[in-house]
């Protein structure tokens, strides 16, 4: 029987290698590829994995969906990384909805759909992307748990959850009809704790917002009006891991859009939300 510490090392190595395999599979099989980048911990790990998969290179553009309501530190972090790493960044924004004054007070599902789902749909259409790499995980939320690694979307970005194609023996759906696109989920099988353990193992820099200040820290990042910090004293990655190992609170408990309706995320995601 191996020690518990070793067990984590092996488990992380297996997850990392699988994610690299998936990223390479998408790159090999699909022409117009892009990666959604929200600057959060999951996207940051995903970017790191891409650089591992492609030996320091990021051979496709990153997409940032700019709702104009993101926490300001997130935008600063984004600009700095793009500059430092020489990344190709595509910005998606539903300018029409913003001009008409869209905000969360009109209903969080309405706002998310307009500023995130619709903005993403526009970017995909404009750039004719055929695959979008997204850093979602099964342990985040019930409808994400149902996802495939390669998950097809109709022309209108809709997700037919009741009739998903089979996916086994690492054979992914890499061919699909014109007009449709596919969402690629390389870290689908990771947990929140895996993400933090990996950040610790690889010493990946993450945003300061994740660390406690005055007894509060962000566990999940999003738009300022709909994201609230949780009580925490964790000031380092190690302390976050210790905190998460003990907690039973849900990761997205600080995300207001999830709480709006019993099946809020499912409803958002059927229409193309990430």
Partner 1 sequence: MSPVAFVVVGHVDHGKSTLIGRLLVDTESLQDGRLEKVRQICREQRKPFEYAFLLDALEAEQLQGVTIDITEVRFRWRERQYLIIDAPGHKEFMKNMLSGAAHADAALLVIDAGQGVQEQSRRHAAALRFLGIKEIAIIISKMDVVDYSEEVFHAIRVEYERFLASIDVQAKGFIPVSAADGENITCPSSQMGWYRGPSVVEFLESLCSVDGVTSRALRLPVQDVYKFDERRIIVCRVESGHVSVGAEVQVWPSKQRAVIRSIEHWPETADVATCADVKEAVGFTLDQQLFVQRGDVITDPAHAPRVANFLAASVFWLGRAPVRASGRYKLKLATLERDIEVFSIRRVMDSGSMEVRTGEVGIGQNEVGDVVLKSSRPFVFDIASEIPATGRFVLLEGYDIVGGGIVLEAEDLYRRSYAEGLPKSTSISPVHEAVTPADRAAAYGHRGHVIWLTGVPGSGKSTIARSLERGLFSRDIKAFIVDGEKLRFGLSADLGFTELERREQGRRAAEVALLFAQAGLVAIVALVSPFNADREYARTLIGEEHFTLVYLHAPLAVLRERDPHDLYVRAAADYPIPVPGLTAIYESPEGVCLRFDTSVESIEHVSHAILDRVLAIIR
Which C-beta is closer to partner 1: that of 91 or that of 242?
242
- The DSSP bridge pattern shows strands 150-153 and 181-184 to be antiparallel
Comparison of 70 and 137: residue with beta carbon closer to partner 1: 137
Residue 101 or 177: which CB sits closer to partner 1?
177
* 146 contacts 261 by C-beta, under 8 angstroms: no
| Binding segment toward partner 1, per CB under 8 A, in 34-42, 104-112, 117-125, 260-268 | 260-268
Question: In whole angstroms, how close is the CB of 35 to partner 1 at the nearest point?
Answer: 16
Among 21, 95, 179, 208, binds partner 1 (CB under 8 A): 21
- Considering the rule CB under 8 A, would residue 28 count as an interface residue with partner 1? yes
Per CB under 8 A, the segment of 31-39, 117-125, 230-238, 245-253 that binds partner 1 is: 245-253
Number of neighbours of residue 248 by Cβ within 10 angstroms: 4
Shortest spacing between CB 123 and partner 1, in angstroms: 24
What is the smallest separation between the CB atom of 17 and partner 1, expressed in angstroms? 5
Residue 126-165 contact track with partner 1, rule CB under 8 A, x = bound: ------------xx-xxx-xx-x------------xx-xx
Give min distance, CB of 92 to partner 1, in A. 26
- Residue of 32, 52, 127, 271 that binds partner 1 (CB under 8 A): 52
Sorted by sequence, the CB contacts under 8 Å of residue 70 that are 6+ apart come out as: 222, 223, 224
Subset of 66-95 contacting partner 1 (CB under 8 A): none
Helices 41-53 + 4-29 axis angle, to 10: 70
Q: Which residues of 2-17 are buried (b: 16+ CB within 10 A; e: fewer)?
A: eeeeeebeeebeebbe
User: Among residues 128 and 163, whose Cβ is nearest to partner 1?
Assistant: 163
Q: Is 205 in the site for partner 1 (CB under 8 A)?
A: no
Yes or no: say if 187 and 19 are a contact pair by the CB < 8 Å rule: yes
Binding site for partner 1 (CB under 8 A): 2, 4, 6-7, 9-11, 13-14, 17-18, 20-21, 24-25, 27-28, 51-57, 59, 138-139, 141-143, 145-146, 148, 161-162, 164-169, 171, 173, 175-177, 189, 191, 248-251, 253, 262-263, 266-267
């Amino acid at each position: 029987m191996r020690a518990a510490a070793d067990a984590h090392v092996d488990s992380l190595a297996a997850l990392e290698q699988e994610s690299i395999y998936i990223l390479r599979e998408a790159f090999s099989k699909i022409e117009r590829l892009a990666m959604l980048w929200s600057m959060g911990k999951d996207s940051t790990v995903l970017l790191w994995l891409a650089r591992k998969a492609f030996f320091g290179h990021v051979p496709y553009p990153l997409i940032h969906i700019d709702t104009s309501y993101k926490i300001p530190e997130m935008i600063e972090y984004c600009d700095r990384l793009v500059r430092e790493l020489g990344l190709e960044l595509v910005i998606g924004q539903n300018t029409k909805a913003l001009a008409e004054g869209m905000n969360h007070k009109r209903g969080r599902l309405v706002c998310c759909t307009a500023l995130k789902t619709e903005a993403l749909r526009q970017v995909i259409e404009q750039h004719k992307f055929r695959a979008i790499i997204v850093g979602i995980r099964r342990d985040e939320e019930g409808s994400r748990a149902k996802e495939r690694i390669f998950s097809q979307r109709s022309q209108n970005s809709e997700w037919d959850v009741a009739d998903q194609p089979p996916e086994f023996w690492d054979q992914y759906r890499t061919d699909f009809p014109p007009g449709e696109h596919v969402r690629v989920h390389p870290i689908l099988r990771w947990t929140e704790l895996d993400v933090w353990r990996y950040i610790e193992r690889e010493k990946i820099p993450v945003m300061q917002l994740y660390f406690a200040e005055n007894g509060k820290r962000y566990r999940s990042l999003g738009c300022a009006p709909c994201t609230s910090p949780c009580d925490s004293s964790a000031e380092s990655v190690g302390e976050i891991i210790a905190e998460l190992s003990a907690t039973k609170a849900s990761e997205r408990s600080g995300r207001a859009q999830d709480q709006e309706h019993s099946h809020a995320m499912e409803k958002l995601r059927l229409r193309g939300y990430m």
